[in-house]
Structure formats: structure tokens, C-alpha cells
Chains A and B, each alone.
Chain A
Amino acid sequence: MNQDQAEELVKEVLLEIVPDADLTSTDAQTDFRRELELDSMDFLTLVERLSVRAGCRIDEDDYPRMATLAGSAALLAERT
């Protein structure tokens, strides 16, 4: 999975969790947890789905990196 594909996957899952989110205005470097008001359970759902669909392991230590679209995508791209 390359960076672009990974970013698409992250957006897809975010839209499942927050169906009315407008991701076109979300900068790849901003904290989407704050922007989309995700709570810890939403975030866990995100991690769960990304891990299954990308087929890679995601640990709690990875969470801080995953706060932005760019960070999440980079992590998935590295692991797959």
C-alpha cells in the first residue's frame, strides 16, 4: 500500500465513523481527533478497522503518530 492508498483507506474509515465529516477541508497534518471530535472509542474503532483492512499490526505505542491523516497513512504504508 502506498501513501496515497493508505490515506484513502484512512478517510474511508473516518467517514464510516463520522458519516457527515467533511474531509476535503481536513489538512493532512492536523489532528483529526480534535477536528472531528473523535472520542477514545471512536479512535479504537478506527484503529481496529485499519488494522484489519490493511492487514497490519497497530500497537498503542503507534497511536500518537496516528493523530493526523499523513501520520496514519505513513504508518500503514510502512507496514504493508
Chain B
Amino acid sequence: MPSLGADMTEGTLLEWLVRPGDRVDRGDIVAVVDTAKAAIEVECFETGTVEELLVEPGAVVPVGAPLAVIAPDAGAPDAGAPAGVPSAGAGEQQAEQHDRPIATPLVRRLAEAGGVDLAAVHGTGPGGRITKADVESAPHVSAGSEHPAEPAAAGPARARPGGHARSEPGPPAAAEGSGARIRATPMARRIAGEAGLDLALVRGSGADGAVRAADVRAALHPAETEEPQAVAEPPRTAGARAEAMRQAVGALMDRSKREIPHYYLSTTVDLAAAMRWLRERNRQLPVPDRLVPAALMLKAAAVAAREVPQLNGWWTDGFTPAPAVHLGVAVALRGGGLIAPAIHDAADLPLPELMAHLRDLVARARAGRLRGSETTDPSITVTSLGDQGVEAVFGVIYPPQVALVGLGKVVERPWASDGMLGVRPVVTATLSADHRASDGATGARYLSALDRLLQRPEEL
């Protein structure tokens, strides 16, 4: 049971996504674990073959306890699968992995925007990953076409530029096995696979038309209730979840305030140049490509953290700088509580990619489908309460991190500059930092860098 955040002591195994005999690669999502805060998809640490699952779904397991036994590769690529007669489960799993192209959310977006069927693209990146270049050089389905030649038509209910939103599944001929990617949750795939149901025939009710487990069950048993399955689901009610969340947040913040000697700095940043630049840029773009001011400020916060490495890392018996800026973003959950997953390498991401990651992360955080790697390693966190109307936020640091950046609401204020008084959009940026790891002068350098970067938005 991996530690999926500094506040986690135990987790409930919700669901296995692999079975004994399955081949797994390092980084594959193998299980879903429920923490006090969210259901999190857990990646595998090793490559090999699953020998035994040690924990039943529903079991509560302390951090550090083994969940499964994975036999390392003996050299043969499919050592784990019995030759000739692989079990149905293993066969499906492998077929599914084969059919599901590996690509980042950005690449998926690019592909969707261009009408490219990812299943038909050959990935040239590491591990067969599909890169931006692969998508750009792939044959595009002409935008606006009602009947694209590719089975991508069976994809989710999503609008293409110049086209229109499809609300019905595509033709049955476009089955999963033919290479089209149907958006579906792992659980939905599993149930459909076991029942021999073609996912292309199921109408998805999830985000972006993704097929969810309930949709598959409804398709299989139109008249039946979900009673038998409800037993397998964790009996955690919304109320219990909210309570567990409060306790988890409370325990971590309690530790932070007990252990971390916080110091606080604040500055007001003139956003006239940034807002003007955003406005000009967004004017020329369709809605999905527009940037929100928060994305620009997050990028500046990440680049500033790279410039002031004393604030980017973790404190455990001393300071360990992080190798890159994994920017934690505090996401308020509807129904209460918050979670702060990381955007990896945020300082190096071009703005449109950062924006895409941000939207994806916020959506998944709220839908309860984060990945373990996103919740474990933020190196500095940003909390932004501007949308809730407050001008400044002095945050509590997430241990073991050493700094937290707070962004308030963008407001218009009288502003003196070059001896002239004018009205400008401004934001109050604050820094809470760990005095064991840095001094006020270092923190001041950080906020100055943030200010300077936001004066040149075109370079971000």
C-alpha cells in the first residue's frame, strides 16, 4: 500500500484492475485505492507478472503492507501467460492494453481537436507512447464530416471543431477490437469484458461521454436494479466521506502548524500587461483553447519556484530540493474538503499544455480519479481562492513541502505608476514558507520573481 500523500496512514483497496497471470509494466494502473480524501488510481512500481493478489477489495490496509506479489520478468516477453491457452481474463487484459494507445491528456486533446483516431496512430515515444508529432503527422479526419471513415466516430460524445456534438454511439461495427478507443472507466471495461458486451454499444453518461460501470450494468440488465453490485462497493456515504476528509485535512494541517515555523510575505502584482495579453490571445481562439488567468499565474509560480530552488522541495531532517517543479494545485471539492495534486514539470510546460493539464486535473480530482503519482510528490503548492471572492490567502504549508503560494482575486484598484494614477487589475500574491528551510529574504526573491514574470506574459 503506497503512501498517497503525507496525510495517509491506511487505505481501502477498492478494486483490482489486474488478475494473477497478467503482465504489468512499471507505471501501469493496477488498482484503485480509497484514501480519506479520494479514490486514487495506483500505479505499479515494477515490471513483471502478477502472481498473487494478497488483499481483497474492501480491505483496509496500512501504508507499507504488501498488496500483491509480482514475479519479475524471466526474460521472455510473456513468461507469465500460459502459452496456447491464456485465461480469458489475461487475454482480455492484454488485448485491452494493446488497444488502448498510450498518450498524454494533451496529445489526446490534440487528436480529438484534429479528428485523429489515436488507436490508428503509431507511437514513436518511449514505450510506444504517442507524441505530439505522431498526432500531427497522422491522417486527419476532415473536420465537419458527418461520417468519418475512421472508427473514431464511435468515440465519445464530443464536439469537433466545425462539426457537431455526437450524442449517439457510432455504428456497432466499430468494436473495441477494431482499434477504436471507447472512453470508459476501468471498471466498465472489466464488466463489459466479462459479459462479452461491446462497449461501443453502450451509451456513456460520464464526463465527455465516458462509459461508466453503471452504464454497462444498465445495458446488461435494463430492468434490474444494481443491488448485487452495490454490496461490492464500499459502504462509505457522502457524510462519512466528508467527515473522513475533515479529519485528514485537520490531521495534516495540525502537523504543519505544530512542526513548521511559518513566515508570511505578501505583495500586490500589477496584472495590466498579463490581462491585456490574455485578452488579445483569447480573442483569436475558440473556447476550449482559451486560457484563464489562473493558468498564467500558475505558470509564473512554477517558473519562479525554479528560480528560487530553496522553496521547491521537501523537509525531512533537512531540506531536499526537488529535481523539478511539481506544482501542487489546491482543488476545492464540491461538498467540502480539498486535495492538492501535482502538475508534473509545470515550469517546463508550454501554457496551453499547462492549461490542459490543469483542467484535466481539476476534473479528475472532483470525479475522484487521481493517480497515485499525482498525489505523492508536489514540491510546492499554489492555492488560489480568487474565484471565491477573497483578495488574499495566507495558506498553511503542506508538509513535507516548505512553501505555499496564495493567489487572491484579480481586482481593479487605483495604481500609481511613473507618477501617474490609473486603474489597473491587480492580484495579491502571498507566500507562506518554512523558516527552517529559508529566510524572509529568500521568500522575497520568490515573490519578486513572480511579479517580474507576470509583467512579461508573452515569455511564459
**Contact string, B340-384, partner A, CB cutoff 8 A, digits 1/0?**
000000000000000000110010000000000000000000000
Find out whether the CB atom of A47 lies under 8 angstroms from the CB atom of B293: no
- Closest Cβ of chain A: how far from B342's Cβ, in Å? 17
A55–B286 alpha-carbon span in the complex (Å): 12
Within 8 A of A (CB), among B316-334: 332, 334
Query: In this complex, what residue of B is CB-closest to A58?
Result: B287
B: which residues have CB within 8 A of A? 159, 164-165, 279, 282-283, 287-288, 290, 292-294, 332, 334-335, 358-359, 362, 387-389
**Chain B nearest CB: distance from A1 CB in Å?**
15
Picked from B159, B282, B287, B293, the residue with its CB within 8 Å of the CB of A40 is B293
Q: CB < 8 Å: which of A34, A44, A60 contacts B389?
A: A34
A contact face: mostly helix, strand, loop, or mixed: helix
Measured between beta carbons, the chain B residues less than 8 angstroms from A60 are 279, 282-283, 290
CB atoms of A41 and B362 under 8 A apart: yes
Contacts A41-B294, A44-B290, A60-B279; is A52 near B362 (CB within 8 Å)?
no
Q: Are A20 and B334 in contact (CB under 8 A)?
A: yes
Q: B204 to chain A: closest CB distance in Å?
A: 13
In the complex where A20-B334, A34-B389 touch, is A47 in contact with B287 (Cβ < 8 A)? yes
Can you name 9 extra interface pairs (CB under 8 A) apart from A37-B387, A37-B388, A44-B292? A18-B334, A37-B334, A39-B294, A47-B287, A48-B288, A51-B287, A53-B165, A59-B283, A60-B282
Distance of B54 from chain A, by nearest CB (Å): 36
- Which residues of the other chain, B, contact A40 by a CB distance below 8 angstroms? 292-294, 387
Taking the nearest CB of chain B, how far is it from the CB of A48, in angstroms? 4
How long is the Cα–Cα vector from A54 to B284 in the complex, in angstroms? Answer: 20
Chain A's closest residue to B358 (CB) is A41
Whether B290 lies near A39 (C-beta < 8 A) is: no
B159 & A38 in contact (Cβ 8 Å cutoff): no
A9 to B290, CA, bound (A): 22
Within 8 A of B (CB), among A28-62: 33-34, 37-41, 44-45, 47-48, 51-53, 55, 58-60
Q: Return A76 CB to nearest CB of chain B, in Å.
A: 14
Which residues of the partner chain B approach A51 to less than 8 Å between Cβ atoms? 287
Report the bound CA distance from A53 to B388 in whole Å.
28
In the assembled complex, the Cα of A55 lies from the Cα of B387 at a distance in Å of 28
Within the complex, what minimum Cβ distance (angstroms) separates B290 from chain A? 7
Residue of A nearest to B158 (CB): A52
Tell whether A48 pairs with B287 under 8 Å between CB atoms, given A40-B387, A53-B165.
yes
Closest to B361 in A: A41
Which residue on A lies nearest to B291, using beta carbons? A44
B271 → chain A closest CB, angstroms: 14
Q: 10 closest Cβ contacts across the A-B interface?
A: A39-B387, A40-B292, A48-B287, A52-B159, A51-B287, A60-B282, A47-B287, A48-B288, A40-B387, A41-B362
Taking CB atoms, residues of chain B closer than 8 Å to A48 are: 287-288
A38 with B287: in contact, given A20-B334, A52-B165 (CB under 8 Å)?
A: no
